A and B are shown apart, each in its own frame.
Chain A
Amino acid sequence: MAAGKSGSFKMLEPCKPPPSKKPRKERNQGKSLGTTSSTEVMQREIWKEFPEDLFEAVIARLPVATFFRFRSVCQKWNSVLDSQSFSQHCAQAPQANPWFYTITCENVNSGAMYDPSLKKWNFYVCNPLTQSFKELPPRSVKVWSRVAVGMTLNSNAASGGYKILWVCCDGEHEVYDSLKNSWTRPGSMPSCIKLPLSLNFRSQAVSLGGTLYFMRSDPEGIVSYNMVTGVWKQSIIPAPHHLSDHTLAECEGRIILVGLLKKNAATCVCIWELQKMTLLWKEVDRMPNIWCLDLYGKHVRMTCLGNSGFAHACIKIETNEQASYLQCGEQGMAQGPWLYGATWEKAAMDCMRRCLQPMLDCYGLASLLFGGLDFMAASFCYYCINEVDDT
């Protein structure tokens, strides 16, 4: 095509890149990058002409705290969250993908979630990064109490959409598909699931692949729902003795249980891993003894969120109205460093940094259901909602 062009090289004229090239690149081609000396001024000039979406690719790879800090670099960086191409870059940037799912029964800092005009709670999916939220269409069933909620992503791509499941103790359940923006009722529960479903509402739902896992009691175990195939399963798994305040978590594809072991006056935070063959919880780690001393003889409650090998627990020592915070485990909860006694903000911050980082991956499509607001109530951090506290 370019063969007719003159010059010492018979082919390409300067602006004959493949047809897929975007205009900004052609703009760049006008500049002869090679002729000027490489000074600081030059560097500044190069970056001046640096295509916007190349900046976006860099920004998309920043940790979330850095990302927020750099919003004050300039207007453009501040508004990058609104850019569709930035969303694409975020989806492509390789990142760990921890997501937090749970339900919340707390009316904490929930102004954005509670619709005062309707005077009712509803399902919202919120994106804390854009500080936007979307109200889901009404469900066909107006069950508002004892509902557990979980969310899965169809894929890592921003365009892949997501699904949300709510399930009620009587087995009633419904699935929301973001791509269709509608709820569907897949049918009734199979007989292998013992009803009524005594869901553990203190525990978050855990998502692994396309499957959601809920804790149940009576009988003790886990109920799972595959959002792709629509298959319900129930596994009977005896809970460890003296266990309380426990929640499910996920770590590198394994199902983890985090909870308090209370025996006599002693209390300890423990972590178990589900043995899929034997259907037993195997203890993999526990809080160092020295910290357990702090809890000895006291009335201790714990709230915990965990995902992708990272758990954040909030321990309340109720006798003296003082709350301590504990955070455990980056490297797979089992081996991870235990941090204890961090201040509220610091712990919450560290947690958020990790938890929210992946949110950038999919922020374009909104986010997830998430609770434990009592220790995540920092500036922007919560997503969804369930409904009124019924415990």
Chain B
Amino acid sequence: MSSSTDSPTLTTETTQLSPQPDTETAKPTKKITLKSSDNQIFEVEESVAMEFATVKSFFEDSPSTDTVPLPNVTAKPLSQVIEFCKEQIKFKANPDEAQKKKYNAEFVTEKSDKDLVDMIPVANYLEIKDLLDVLNQAVADRIENKSVEYVRSFFGIDNDFTAEEEAALRREHAWAYEGVDED
């Protein structure tokens, strides 16, 4: 056993190396180029791109393609979405629900409202269900304890009730107006 310690060290080093960085030195995986509406180029592994149902079905239609323009997706949310999908792929390979939950929670907590607002239509357009679930829940969590007025301004919604209508609604569900955070 002890005599063989030297050679195994070498091999473990090399095996450790390969999964670590996803550089070109790793076994060649197909790359797909995504082009955002603001002309930023994102090169992602095929597996990541396939997380986007929209892109996936695009490829099913036109398999020879290697660049996909995403005309209604800007670079910033796209990069965040890619970041999320990369992690999800790792969890697919090594299922760890607790870690996944933790990652998903952290992913959204560090995002600004604006980030979420920008990402949701992207996740929806690209049809990334897991991400959409996480984002929608995050928005719901953020407004959960907020006032009606806050929500209106958060979403830019105009109050289209008459004063009487609104008062009636508030009376009807008066119990639901307890425990609201200060705006």
Which residues of A line the B interface, CB within 8 A? 1-3, 9-12, 14-18, 20-21, 25, 28-29, 31-35, 38, 43-48, 50-51, 54-55, 57-63, 65-78, 93-94, 345, 349, 378-379
Q: A10-B65, A72-B170 are in contact. List 10 more A-B contacts (CB 8 A).
A: A2-B62, A18-B54, A18-B58, A33-B118, A58-B143, A66-B143, A69-B173, A69-B176, A69-B180, A70-B148
The distance in angstroms between the C-alpha atoms of A50 and B123, with both chains bound, is 13
The 8 closest A-B pairs by CB, nearest first: A44-B156, A34-B74, A34-B38, A61-B140, A14-B71, A68-B176, A18-B57, A69-B176
| Shortest beta-carbon distance from A192 to chain B in Å | 41
Find out whether the CB atom of B158 lies under 8 angstroms from the CB atom of A74.
Answer: yes
| Shortest beta-carbon distance from B168 to chain A in Å | 9
| Shortest beta-carbon distance from B115 to chain A in Å | 10
Which residues of the partner chain B approach A59 to less than 8 Å between Cβ atoms? 140
| Shortest beta-carbon distance from A76 to chain B in Å | 8
Q: Does B61 sit at the interface, judged by CB under 8 A? A: yes
B41-58 with Cβ < 8 A to chain A: 53-54, 57-58
B22-42 with Cβ < 8 A to chain A: 35-38
| Shortest beta-carbon distance from A86 to chain B in Å | 13
The distance in angstroms between the C-alpha atoms of A373 and B169, with both chains bound, is 24
Which residues of the partner chain A approach B82 to less than 8 Å between Cβ atoms? none
| Shortest beta-carbon distance from B179 to chain A in Å | 8
Q: Which of B73, B140, B166 has the most CB of A within 10 A?
A: B140
Interface SS, B side:
helix
Q: Which of A12, A63, A379 has the most CB of B within 10 A?
A: A12
Pairs across A and B, CB under 8 Å, 23 listed? A1-B62, A3-B62, A10-B67, A11-B65, A11-B67, A12-B58, A15-B71, A17-B58, A18-B58, A50-B117, A50-B120, A50-B155, A54-B124, A55-B155, A60-B136, A61-B140, A65-B176, A66-B145, A69-B176, A72-B148, A72-B170, A74-B152, A93-B136
Considering only CB atoms, which chain A residue lies closest to B139 in the complex?
A: A58
A14-B72, A94-B133 in contact; A349/B169 too (CB < 8 A)?
A: no
| Shortest beta-carbon distance from A79 to chain B in Å | 11
The distance in angstroms between the C-alpha atoms of A283 and B119, with both chains bound, is 50
Number of residues from B at the complex interface, CB < 8 A: 60
Cross-interface CB contact of B54 among A17, A57, A72, cutoff 8 Å: A17
Which residues of the partner chain B approach A65 to less than 8 Å between Cβ atoms? 175-176, 178-179
Considering only CB atoms, which chain A residue lies closest to B147 in the complex?
A: A69
Q: Which of A1, A10, A12, A34 has the most CB of B within 10 A?
A: A34
The distance in angstroms between the C-alpha atoms of A59 and B139, with both chains bound, is 9
